[in-house]
Amino acid sequence: MSIKSILIVEDESIIALDIQTRLIKLGYAISGIASTGEDAIRIADKFKPDLVLMDILLKGDLDGVEAARIIRMENSIPVIFLSSFSDEITFREAAMVSPHGYLIKPFSETELKTKIDELPLQLT
């Protein structure tokens, strides 16, 4: 399985649109952009993307870690966390979801592509 469609979960619209532009340039389809954990779960359930790029800190009742846990449990979709924070507590909390990686914002297009390419071919 190769990654074809990606769900972007980012509550800062300018950052979400930048990520979308980069992914399209790299040849990926965007299955949606969500700004809350609740929206991310709904879009993942409906469109079944190959990958979720998930901001750890989101506005709303569900943070990115909890939303990722639900998406992984219900749909077995791999998650790469995005964060502006690189502290040990944030990483320890996110690690409980068994993500397929982390990207510290701001990240380059090369870092983004490399992290996506590191995903195993068979994810389910």
Residues 28-63: tens digit of each pLDDT: 999 999 999 999 999 999 999 999 999 998 988 999
C-alpha 87/C-alpha 71 separation (Å) is 24
CATH number at residue 78: 3.40.50.2300
Number of domains in the chain: 1
Q: pLDDT value at position 97?
A: 87
Inside any domain, residue 50: yes
Predicted local distance difference test score (pLDDT) of residue 1: 52
Residue 36: predicted pLDDT: 97
Tell me if 119 is assigned to some domain: no
Low-confidence ranges of the chain (pLDDT < 50): 122-124
pLDDT of residue 123: 45
pTM: 0.91
Residue ranges of alpha helices (H) inside 6-121 are: 13-25, 37-47, 64-75, 88-95, 109-117
